[in-house]
Each structure stands twice: as C-alpha cells, then as structure tokens.
Structure 1
C-alpha cells in the first residue's frame, strides 16, 4: 500500500477542521458549493462520486481521493466502476497533453522566429 489512507483520512479531516477555525467562511463557502451539486437527482450520488474521483486524479488531490473514494464506496460504486472512471481520467490527461503539445509547437514557432 502506498499510504495508510484511513489514517490520512483522519489527519486531513482534522487539518480541514483547523482551517475551519481559522477561516470559517472559506470552509462554509466550499461546503455550500459542494452541497449545491448534491441537491439534484439527475446524475445520482454514485455517478457524482465517480466523476469526483476522476477529477481528483487529474488535479492530483490526495485529500479529494480519500474523501471521494469513501463516498463512492458508500454510494455503491464497485472497484470496476471506479477503475473505469479512472480510465477516463487517464485518457483525458493524455488528451490534454496532446492538445497542449500543439501549443508548445506554436510557441516554438513564435520564439524561433524571434530568435532568427
């Protein structure tokens, strides 16, 4: 195992609690935004959590991973469904790298012309 996710879950929860004491409006704002998405039933909790896991991977957020893994499992997501959502995250990251590679080539052309 890469890390003790259960212990990390406790620790990150405590640290977010510390932030809530120092900056309660920031945490309240986050909670309001987060709760806004759960008020509709169009996607359902399991789908929302699978999307959250894919986004957590693409944003490289360990705290998001631990919280949304717990929530996805509680919502009934299977390991196979989670793996499929992660596959989407992998393909999106590869696609984004491909698209942004064209931006690098564009910058190379512009900078090469400036150095000529």
Structure 2
C-alpha cells in the first residue's frame, strides 16, 4: 500500500472507500467479520493483517481459544484443498512416470 499511496493515491483512496462501504453494508457481526478476515489473512500470508484481525477479533469479544480454532480450521481447509488439487494434477502419475505427460515448464 505504501507504493500505491505514494504513486497512485487515487487507487489507495478507492480502497479506503471500499472499506467504508463494507463497514456500512455489513450484514454480519464484528466478531464474525474479524474471524473471516483473520482466516483470509492467514491464507494470504499477510503478517500485518493477521495481527490486525487477531487483535480486532479479541476486541470484538473473541477468545484466544476461538482464534486458535479458526487457525486450525483454516489450516485444515487449506490442507484439504491442497490435497484435492494435487491429486487432480498428478492423478495420472503412472502416465507422468511413463513420460506421456509433459510439463509446460520443461524446456
């Protein structure tokens, strides 16, 4: 965001406008909102956002135990998605070994 704020402030301002709109139109309670943002921040690997939403969830009444559950749930769902996707990609592993399937990355 620092580069955006410096070199494309109009865009950064629009993001602020989106944040305000989300807050105005929010149909879920603050704690649920913070849980969702916390999980997305974990998946996005954003340290500042993880910290922001961890603290925001606590301020919205969440417990450390609930946040630990959200962390575990996020990790489990990610593992399941990774498992399904990877098996889809290498489902024809015997054909890969046989040399019948080539990777686009091979030169």
- Please say whether Structure 1 and Structure 2 have the same fold, judged by a TM-score greater than 0.5: yes
4+ residue runs of structure 1 moved beyond 3 angstroms? 16-19, 106-112
- The 3-state SS of whatever aligns with 1:36 is helix
| Residue ranges of structure 2 left out of the alignment (5+ in a row) | 103-107
Q: Does 1:113 align with 2:97?
A: no
Match of 2:60 in 1: 75
| RMSD (Å), alpha carbons | 2.4
| Structure with more relative contact order (C-alpha pairs < 8 Å, separation 6 or more) | 1
TM-score scaled by structure 1? 0.69
Higher helix proportion (structure 1 or 2): 1
Match of 1:26 in 2: 11
Instruction: Indicate how the Cα distance of structure 1 residues 107 and 74 shifts in structure 2: closer, same or farther if over 3 A, else same.
Output: same
Tell which structure's C-alpha radius of gyration is larger: 2
Q: Write the deviation string for residues 70-109 of structure 1: whole angstroms up to 9, x where unpaired.
A: 2222222211121111121011111111111123214644
- The 3-state SS of whatever aligns with 2:89 is helix
TM-score scaled by structure 2? 0.74
- The CA deviation at 1:30 is 2.0
Give the number of aligned pairs.
100
